[in-house]
Structure 1
Amino acid sequence: MPKLPGMPEALRVRDFRLLWTGRFVSLLGSWLLTVAVPAHVLQITGSLMATGLTLAAEYLPVLLLGPLAGVLSDRWDRRRVMLTTDVVRAAAVATMLLADSPGTVWIVYAALAAESTGSVLFRPAAQAYTPAVVGTGTRLSSANALTAGTDGVVRLVGAPLGAVLLLAYGFPVLIWADVATYLCSAVAIFLTTRHPGARASRTTVAAIREELRHGLRTIRGDRMTRWLLVVSTLFTLANGSLSALLVPLGVTELGGPRQAGLVVSALGAGFLLGAPLIRLLVDRVQPRHLYALSLLCTAAGFLALFTADGLPVALPAAVGIGVSGSMTWAVPQTTVQRTLPNAVLGRVSAVFLSGEALATLIGAVAGPALAQAAGLTTPAVLASTVTVATAALALLLLPRLPALMPAS
């Protein structure tokens, strides 16, 4: 297509435009439920622990199936994997309509787990598919910046809009909206073209086992990837413990579901503001320096948000977390995509997702349990301390890259 002035590089690639559009639409639908699902569970059960388990239900399939999903995304047609999982996730979300009492709250957990099972296949396939489409040069940082910007927009719009729709129209409207967005994403992916990378060899238990070993050997043998995995997993433990408390913070301390939506929206605004910083800094600053600084800023934001006594403090803190949080996502992902062969990216990405899932699962249980016993400030202080420690690890253990990858 013609190079329009100011158009991001990645959007000049037709298949990335379709992939990005589909992801934008489906993420918007999912973020409509970010406040609605925990608030619905809190409403029908009255339990902080039951609310925190919604996050645990999302991450348990990632923990159990992540490595297998990575192998499959490296062996199967990644485009077909993404299309199929969008349809599966649409069906899973629809079953939440059956949960309307404490005795049926398990349906929400089962639906979230089924949706997450689709996501655990989709995400490594999408992460490996992106550099295959745009290359590993400046278009890759452009693509990841756009993805972070998308996250920012849907966080900014989706959570408060979901809270408003929940109060105005009820839970079922949001469920059907999310179903529709997954189906729209499937159509967009269907319109993309196939790219080389999937292998046609038969998938056997022995082959899967060997490729799992190969993926783990790849991580162990690459110092950058190995320590990125350690640092990102520890940070996710801290982040997961507070993510499970975000909606309860808004509902119990800041005024209600609408205030919780505004805090999530402020996080989205921060992600949106962070997107141009990703494009500016990821190609210019060493990963260890950028990652460490981002983690330090995030730690300060955690403490400010969970000790806030009202929205005038909570909203700026959430924006700050979003800005630095977008960088804590972009730095490890872009670095791994650039430094490892595309043929192993699905497996390596899935190991990262599994580590993050385990950390989030532990955090989603530990955070609410600690808050129930000692108040919201205690887990916030602990999470901030852990995040500062991860910043020190990043600075000390991540190697210096000899040079940035050239533009493709």
Structure 2
Amino acid sequence: MTTGDGRPATFREVFAVREFRPLFGTYTLSTIGDELARVALTVLVYQRTDSPLLAAFTFALGFLPWALGGPVLATIADRFPRHRVLITSDVVRAALVAGMAVPGTPLPVLLALLLLVSLFAPPFESARAALMADVLEGERYAVATSLTNVSLQMSQVVGFLAAGGLVTVLSPSAVLLADAATFAVSAVWLTVGLQRRPAPTEGVAEPASVWREAGEGLRLIGGSPRLLAIIALLWVGTLFANAAEGIAAPLTDELGERAVQVGVLLAAQPLGTTVGGLVLARLLGTARSDRLMPLLVGLSLAPVLLAGLVVMSAGPGRGAYALVVVLLFVSGLGASWSIPLNVAFVQAVPPAYRGRAFGVAVSGLYGIQGVGALAAGLAAEGLAPSAVVALAGGIGLVAVVPPLLAYGRTRGAVAQDSPAAGPSVP
């Protein structure tokens, strides 16, 4: 599975792995569908209630299962065959979203169905991430991770932009049906394209309860200095680098721009991460990218500090807005540090624990992003948005030093060798 000579893998070599194609394609398709549904539901709820608060709550409801029960739900990816978890999750979500599209569905029922749909995200994403590590190794896994991150960033942009147009042309119910179709297509593609493997815990005499397994995942991370360093760096770096997203609208207003420019401001970092991820995976490779980790983390935060200072000093104007967009793009380039960090995480987690370990990492990531956006919004109640952005960048540069030092000290720690995927089964 590795390139053999240590060189970065090519995109062709990654897509040549048969099982990667459905894992990548369905992830892209479902992400676009999710963003379509997110906008459509927000519009639908607002049309019915005229309540901005309920509309915002609807937008955020999809993250609730991750923040509250992600580590427990993610254990499902380690208790059952991962291909079965993926297919079942998509089939159920297709049916639930189709139910949401029925015209006239009462609002409480609509929100309850949305919550049920969201409950399947942690086991699905944990199983997909763990299975990616099963079917790809070494430089191919690093390139695949980059492509997946690129897909996430671009799918979000495409989904949001497409939703804005479709909701004005079609009804929100029609957009929800399109989302249901993406889940149905994904289920069929995964059924045809994935090899049948046993559950990672198959052969264990008496499987533990989900609560015990979730606790084992937390203890695994808590007892490993390497995993603690990786998780701390991921959460702290993301907290401060992305905090400005929560106040994009007031920041744009401070710059004297119209509301339509908010989308451009929000798209700058994901676009930078897309470009940076492609460069890291295709040109540098895992080892060199890992050595550049301190530089990349600093590059993700220093432009945030500079963007805040630019607005504070220059004031409103098209020139200041353009410079802020460029600086946030550069910040996104640096944020591609998540790719070598992802590889290091996989190397430090035994295969049988990957589902629950990914669940802990991703659950905390969603939670920390919400905390960052909320903290930035609260701070902007008393400070200028530009000052909040500058503080996020400045505090972040100091806060990431301890996890970066811990990451450097634990470099080289890997999980004990064990079979990555197990034999094929019917």
**TM-score (norm: length of structure 2):** 0.78
Summarize the Cα distance change of 1:368–1:88 in structure 2 as closer, same or farther, 3 Å threshold: farther
Summarize the Cα distance change of 1:303–1:109 in structure 2 as closer, same or farther, 3 Å threshold: farther
Given the alignment, which residue of 324, 330, 338 partners 1:320?
Answer: 330
Whether 1:331 and 2:333 are equivalent positions in the alignment is: no
Q: How does 1:248-263 map to 2 (within 5 A)?
A: 254-256=257-259, 258-263=260-265
The Cα offsets for residues 325-352 of structure 1, whole Å up to 9 and x where unpaired, read as 3x24323221111222211111111111
Residue 198 of structure 1 corresponds to 200
Q: What CA distance in whole angstroms lies between the structure 1 residues aligned with 2:372 and 2:154?
A: 26
What is the letter of the counterpart of residue 353 of structure 1? Answer: V
Whether 1:76 and 2:80 are equivalent positions in the alignment is: yes
Q: What CA distance in whole angstroms lies between the structure 2 residues aligned with 1:274 and 1:119?
A: 27
Q: Is the 8 A contact 1:90 1:182 kept in 2?
A: yes
Q: Is the 8 A contact 1:63 1:354 kept in 2?
A: yes
Larger relative helix fraction: 1
Whether 1:225 and 2:230 are equivalent positions in the alignment is: no
Q: Is the 8 A contact 2:280 2:289 kept in 1?
A: no
Residue 4 of structure 2 corresponds to none
Q: Is the 8 A contact 1:231 1:390 kept in 2?
A: no
Q: Is the 8 A contact 2:14 2:140 kept in 1?
A: yes
Given the alignment, which residue of 389, 397, 405 partners 2:398?
Answer: 389
Q: What CA distance in whole angstroms lies between the structure 2 residues aligned with 1:129 and 1:247?
A: 38
What is the letter of the counterpart of residue 67 of structure 2? Answer: L
Residue 271 of structure 2 corresponds to 269
Q: Structure 1 unaligned runs (5+)?
A: none
Residue 411 of structure 2 corresponds to 401
Q: Is the 8 A contact 1:26 1:181 kept in 2?
A: yes
Q: Is the 8 A contact 2:272 2:333 kept in 1?
A: yes
Give % identity: 25
Q: Structure 2 unaligned runs (5+)?
A: 1-8, 421-426
Q: What CA distance in whole angstroms lies between the structure 2 residues aligned with 1:213 and 1:303?
A: 38
Residue 59 of structure 1 corresponds to 63
Q: Give the secondary structure class of the aligned counterpart of 2:176.
A: helix
Residue 284 of structure 1 corresponds to 287
Q: What CA distance in whole angstroms lies between the structure 2 residues aligned with 1:322 and 1:224?
A: 25
Whether 1:342 and 2:351 are equivalent positions in the alignment is: yes
Q: What CA distance in whole angstroms lies between the structure 1 residues aligned with 2:240 and 2:175?
A: 29
Q: Is the 8 A contact 1:273 1:323 kept in 2?
A: yes
Aligned length: 397
Q: CA deviation at 1:62?
A: 0.9
Q: What CA distance in whole angstroms lies between the structure 1 residues aligned with 2:54 and 2:120?
A: 23
What is the letter of the counterpart of residue 186 of structure 1? Answer: A
Quick check: 390-399 or 246-255, which moved more? 246-255
Q: What CA distance in whole angstroms lies between the structure 1 residues aligned with 2:158 and 2:215?
A: 42
Q: How does 1:101-120 map to 2 (within 5 A)?
A: 104=107, 110=112, 112-120=114-122
Residue 375 of structure 2 corresponds to 366
Summarize the Cα distance change of 1:145–1:237 in structure 2 as closer, same or farther, 3 Å threshold: closer
Q: What CA distance in whole angstroms lies between the structure 2 residues aligned with 1:402 and 1:213?
A: 26
What is the letter of the counterpart of residue 163 of structure 1? Answer: G
Q: What CA distance in whole angstroms lies between the structure 1 residues aligned with 2:49 and 2:379?
A: 19
Residue 163 of structure 2 corresponds to 162
What is the letter of the counterpart of residue 381 of structure 1? Answer: A
Q: Is the 8 A contact 1:295 1:328 kept in 2?
A: yes
Q: Is the 8 A contact 1:215 1:348 kept in 2?
A: yes
Summarize the Cα distance change of 1:261–1:114 in structure 2 as closer, same or farther, 3 Å threshold: farther
Q: What CA distance in whole angstroms lies between the structure 2 residues aligned with 1:126 and 1:361?
A: 23
Q: Is the 8 A contact 1:300 1:384 kept in 2?
A: yes
Q: Give the secondary structure class of the aligned counterpart of 1:14.
A: coil
Q: What CA distance in whole angstroms lies between the structure 1 residues aligned with 2:207 and 2:10?
A: 49
Quick check: 32-41 or 83-92, which moved more? 32-41
Summarize the Cα distance change of 1:160–1:58 in structure 2 as closer, same or farther, 3 Å threshold: same
Residue 12 of structure 1 corresponds to 16
Q: What CA distance in whole angstroms lies between the structure 2 residues aligned with 1:72 and 1:161?
A: 33
The Cα offsets for residues 342-394 of structure 1, whole Å up to 9 and x where unpaired, read as 11111111111222233233334333333345453344234323421343123
Q: Is the 8 A contact 1:156 1:267 kept in 2?
A: no
Q: Is the 8 A contact 1:55 1:364 kept in 2?
A: no
Summarize the Cα distance change of 1:363–1:400 in structure 2 as closer, same or farther, 3 Å threshold: closer
Summarize the Cα distance change of 1:272–1:363 in structure 2 as closer, same or farther, 3 Å threshold: closer
Rg (Cα) greater in structure: 2
The root-mean-square deviation of aligned C-alpha atoms, in Å, is 3.8
